[in-house]
Chain A
Amino acid sequence: MTPLDPQPATGEPQAPGPAEPASLGLQVQVEQAAPMPLSGAFACAAGEMLALVGPSGAGKTSLLRLMAGLLRPRQGRVTVDGEVWVDTATGQWLPPQRRHVGLVFQHYALMPHLDACDNVALSLLHLPGPERQAQARHWLDHVGLDAAQQKRRPAALSGGQQQRVAMARALARQPRLLLLDEPFAAVDQMTRQGLYRLLADLRRELAIPIVLVTHDLHEARLLADRLVVLDQGRVLQQGTPAAIHRAPRNARVADLVGLQNRFEGRWLGPAEPQGTGRLQWTGPQLAQRPAAAHAAPQQDPVLLVPDKRRLEPGQAVNWVIPGEAIELVEPARRQAGDLDGVVSQVRHLGEITLCTVDLTGPPWARLTLTLAGARPALLGTLDALSPSVGPDALHPVAVRLDTRLVHVMPVRSA
């Protein structure tokens, strides 16, 4: 484990002991039940971008406020480059004024009575007047505001321009930690692309930890090196976006990161070859299955999936399979092990196509596929289907699963 590896997430309260490695970048650890529950630990290295993701009320903004010093934890510790910003164990506390943190507020929090330049200059009060103005102009130039815009008050600027002023104000502090609270929520898509570019440039030149709060998973995956998944104030899982999508810790994480194909099953135990196990895909209760299921009850299918040796035979499990591991083939090309289904919905949304497939045999489950334009084989099939059969007509397909990509999670009694 390198010093920058995140500490194990959630659950057990962890006291930072003397054995803690020399801490670079940001280290956060918090454990409190009131006034709002917050629990977990995470780290963010210099130059790294960490995204806090989760539903509203998950505690994302509270954690940001904790780092900025606007919220004092009941029990917790925040360090940046080894300097203690707060440590409830030793009673250390650095007020927000002395933290040198750049915080971009969700609604920017620009001073309405000051023009853009004075807004930025406000965070440079330690400098003499003329120097302050020069620095403020420098930062506004840097984020791409022209001289005329710099003289305007926030009300006369567009959302994207206000966002840039907020960014310039945060940067002018020469922060040691940059915090972004839903920074792109209120700007349109075109403006957003420009801001993404700005953020990418800044990130390269700043080399400080950057923490981004967002509920937009697409954005989080696009921008962040690592994700911290939060729910009800708890850190559920952290890791690279790819790792979390490949192997969510539990069903809740799978739902929170938007994995669509999550199913239930029963773990049957290890199998040959070594490292694999048998997973029975259990669908809905018989009563909820279509009439055809009652006519000819069959066994739920058993899949051969990777085994990480964490599960007991007979244990109820949740499992996910990524969209890229699901292939639809013409019924004529059906092979042994393929499942029968019908395409029940096809929705074309610009460059992506949403497609649902209902299995016509056990376990009678529904699969959801988001197909990018770059899936010619599959799209070819669908395009061939749609005109002849109409958008919602049921068209039979064979479903082929790459079960090597299945990820199995124990069901936890929450």
Chain B
Amino acid sequence: MDWQAVRLSVELALVTWLVLLPAGLALGRWLATTRFAGKAAVEALVVLPLVLPPTVLGYYLLVGLGAASPVGAWLATHFGVQLSFSFTGLVVASVVFNIPFMVQPIQRAFEAIPRDLAEAAAVSGLSFWQTLWRVELPLAWPGLLSATVLTFVHTLGEFGVVLMMGGNIPGETRTVAIAIYDRVQAFDLAGADRMALLLAVASLVAVAASFFASARLTVRR
């Protein structure tokens, strides 16, 4: 068992989640509550990472953000940041790849909140933040939970994007999914076995737990 890879995967999932949660909350709520020209285009962009082959997405990220690209060069000279074949680059790729998994459940959850509740809150004297905290979040909570679990599990298992952007550097970019592939390539099926089982069980438990909690948390109307 490559514990270093497990730890790296969990760290990547945590950081991805931390970055995406506030962004996904803002984007999802905005898409759920506002109507504007070009909304369909924004929604299509949000879903795009879901339908693109991971290798294609990884390829464009590598070409667009790698050291040879203008963005990559600019980041390297001004911040000393290198995105290709680094953990930071992995985080960027993972965040982009997980946008639909975070945004869509949140958007659906906010869409399900009747509009007049926010208006009733405003008339009752609640500010925007009070309404968000006391009315919208408690009602959208199952959606947030499901977005969190999906993002986390999805990050643990992602392969193509990680391989394209990060390669296979132990301790830096070798995640569990890459490690499994690595073990198989080395004919160490027993090692691959254990890690594959770990990943499968962890994913199943997380998704089942979120479904269970979501059913309990959903408020009857």
Contacts and interface: CB of A to CB of B under 8 A. Distances in A.
Which of A99, A105, A113, A154 is most buried by chain B, counting CB atoms within 10 A of its CB? A113
B122 to A, nearest CB: 4
Interface stretch (B33-41, B63-71, B111-119, B191-199): B111-119
B76 interface: no
Interface in A100-126: 101-103, 105, 107, 109-113, 122-123, 125-126
A155 B220 contact: yes
Interface residues of B, number: 20
Contacts of A189: none
Which of A69, A99, A122, A154 is most buried by chain B, counting CB atoms within 10 A of its CB? A122
B123 A70 contact: yes
Contacts of A97: 122-123, 125-127
A63 to B, nearest CB: 15
Interface string B107-137: 0000000101101111111110010001100
Given A109-B117, A113-B219, A155-B221, A169 B125 contact: no
Given A97-B125, A113-B138, A173-B125, A153 B120 contact: no
A70 B120 CA distance: 10
Nearest to A111: B135
Contacts of A254: none
- Chain A: number of interface residues, binned into ranges: 20 to 34
A96 interface: yes
Q: Which 10 A-B pairs have the closest CB atoms?
A: A123-B124, A109-B120, A109-B116, A113-B219, A96-B122, A155-B220, A103-B123, A112-B219, A112-B221, A113-B138
A211 to B, nearest CB: 14
A125 B139 contact: no
Given A109-B114, A112-B220, A153-B220, A173 B124 contact: yes
Interface of A: 68-70, 95-99, 101-103, 105, 107, 109-113, 122-123, 125-126, 153-155, 169, 173
B221 A103 contact: no
Contacts of B139: 111-113
Which of B120, B122, B123, B134 is most buried by chain A, counting CB atoms within 10 A of its CB? B123
A71 to B, nearest CB: 10
Nearest to B141: A113
Contacts of B116: 105, 107, 109
Given A107-B116, A109-B119, A122 B124 contact: yes
B124 A169 contact: yes
Contacts of B135: 111, 122
Contacts of A68: 119, 123
A337 to B, nearest CB: 57
A359 to B, nearest CB: 50
15 contacts: A70-B122, A70-B123, A97-B123, A105-B116, A105-B120, A109-B117, A109-B119, A111-B117, A112-B139, A122-B126, A122-B135, A123-B125, A125-B126, A153-B219, A169-B120
B18 to A, nearest CB: 26
B133 to A, nearest CB: 11
A122 B123 CA distance: 11
A107 B134 CA distance: 20
Given A109-B114, A123-B124, A173-B124, 6 more contacts: A68-B123, A70-B122, A97-B123, A109-B116, A122-B134, A154-B221
Nearest to B118: A109
A76 B205 CA distance: 58
A314 to B, nearest CB: 53
A276 to B, nearest CB: 53
Contacts of B127: 97
Nearest to B127: A97
Nearest to B124: A123
A376 B125 CA distance: 55
A45 to B, nearest CB: 22
Nearest to A118: B134
B122 A122 contact: no
A125 B125 contact: yes
A102 B221 CA distance: 23
B125 A126 contact: yes
Contacts of B123: 68-70, 96-97, 99, 101-103, 173
A131 to B, nearest CB: 15
A70 B124 CA distance: 12
A125 B123 CA distance: 12
A126 B126 CA distance: 10
A169 B221 CA distance: 18
Contacts of A123: 124-125
Contacts of A70: 119, 122-123
A237 B123 CA distance: 29
Interface in B178-221: 219-221
Which of A98, A107, A111, A169 is most buried by chain B, counting CB atoms within 10 A of its CB? A111
Contacts of B124: 122-123, 169, 173
